[in-house]
Amino acid sequence: MDKVREPARKLAGLVPYDPKYLPARAMMSANENPKDVDEDLRRQVESAVRRVPLNRYPDPLANELRDLIACANGLDREQVLVGNGGDELLFNTALAWGGPGRTFLNLPPTFSVYEANARLTNTDVLNIPRLREQDFAIDEAAVLDAVSGPDSQVDFTIIATPNNPTGLRARTEFLGELLASTDALVVADEAYFEFSRQTMRPYLDANKNLVILRTFSKAFSLAGVRVGYILGHPDVIRQYMKVRQPYSVDAVSQAIGRVIFQNRAAFEPGIEAIIEERERILKELSAMPGVHPYPSDANWVLFEVPEAEQVWQRLFDAGVLVRDFSTAAGLEGTLRVSVGTKEQDDLFLDELKKARGIS
């Protein structure tokens, strides 16, 4: 046959996720850790991987890793689920709490995968935009209004804290109030919480409707391996278990994840350095005429710059890859730079100055 039927109608308006990843000297577009796992840890990773039986299926629930994560968070195994990156667990959220006739509350601009997952699962999306004039703070009153009351249609919401790509974390007190005013599932996406040093963990015991999502991809330098996890009530975790792919976290990733998690203290100095560099970048960008950085609690800085698209190209031509959000809805005129090593940050700042005609 030289033709094929139309796919599901819901795909019509969707475009495949494209991180716009291009090879560059300074990769500063994907909010990864600029430092790879060091040699000593790599040796431990290698010997752990060598012991993995490749002919056997992995433990479907990654129980050894699950126990390590549970113990570190003062929880039981039943309150933890490991996924193929946070991305899988975000999709599972839409599978388990979304669907036809159900509503997802989204706070754009935010991680675009949330809304894509809702569309893929035929979930209705209620958007409450963030307030750009207040550094993209959440419109807290509007959110509380939308979820409370007997008429609320909202079944679940995902709130990135800090929020990608804008930068600020949500106020903990606001999230607490939100959890108390609705029985909708509230996912606090803490993919970057190591850089804000704020977590909703203290709210977990009293709120069955809270799920905390985290990842090994950022602070733990493991974006290439694909390990993420959620913390939640055992009943909620059980619902997630119904929709997940049985062997989504392969045995090699589980082995690497265990070594990295057991050695997570080794990443602390790197996290500190990223936080310091973030503050330096913020300060330097604030001092550049015409450039407006937004405050950040994460490992990147979003900034407005005139002729952002051309500036992106100038930076790229000079070997610096940043993320172009200049034509994205609600983010017009902005670029996002992930914090790099000191050398990469210097290169970025120098090249941006040149692009702006500042010497």
Residues 15 and 116: their CA atoms lie apart, in Å, by 9
- Answer yes or no whether residue 111 interacts with ligand PMP by CB under 6 A: yes
3-state secondary structure string, 108-160?
A: CCCCHHHHHHHHHCCCEEEECCCEHHHCCECCHHHHHHHHCCCCCCEEEEEEE
Q: In the complex with ligand PMP, which residue's Cβ is closer, 91 or 348?
A: 91
- Asked whether the beta carbons of 262 and 69 are under 8 A apart, the reply is no
Query: Which residue in the shown chain puts its C-beta closest to ligand PMP?
Result: 85
Omega before residue 165 within 30° of 0, cis:
yes
Q: Distance (Å, rounded) from C-alpha 320 to C-alpha 338?
A: 11
Cβ-based nearer residue to ligand PMP, 189 or 297: 189
Q: How many CA atoms lie within 13 A of 183 on its CB side?
A: 3
* Region 195-224 residues binding ligand PMP, contact defined as CB under 6 A: 215, 217, 223
Nearer to ligand PMP, 162 or 270 (CB): 162
Query: Residues 226-245: x/- map of binding to ligand PMP (CB under 6 A)?
Result: --x-----------------
Q: Which residues pair with 300 in a beta bridge?
A: 338
> Cα 31–86–281 angle (5° rounding)?
15
Q: Smallest gap, in angstroms, from Cβ of residue 348 to ligand PMP?
A: 20
Spell out, one character per residue from 311 to 330, where the chain touches ligand PMP: x when CB under 6 A holds, - when not: --------------------
Nearer CB in complex with ligand PMP: 119/323: 323
Q: Restricting to residues 61-100, which ones interact with ligand PMP according to CB under 6 A?
A: 85-87
User: Per-residue string for binding with ligand PMP, 132-171, x by CB under 6 A?
Assistant: ----------------------------x---x-------
CA dist 293 and 76 (Å) reads: 41
Q: Which of 80, 107, 191, 212 touches ligand PMP (CB under 6 A)?
A: 191
Within 245-284, the residues that bind ligand PMP by CB under 6 A are: none
Instruction: Tell me the C-alpha distance between 230 and 248, whole Å.
Output: 14
Smallest distance from ligand PMP to CB 4, Å: 30
Least separation in angstroms between CB 347 and ligand PMP: 23
Contacts of residue 256, defined as CB under 8 A and 6 or more positions apart, other chains included, come to: 45, 48, 49, 222, 225, 227
Bridge pairing between strands 26-27 and 320-321? parallel
CB closer to ligand PMP, 87 vs 324: 87
Residue 80 bridge partners (DSSP): 231
Q: Give me the least distance between CB of 49 and ligand PMP, in Å please.
A: 20
Residues that bind ligand PMP in the complex, under the rule CB under 6 A: 85-87, 111, 160, 164, 189, 191, 215, 217, 223, 228
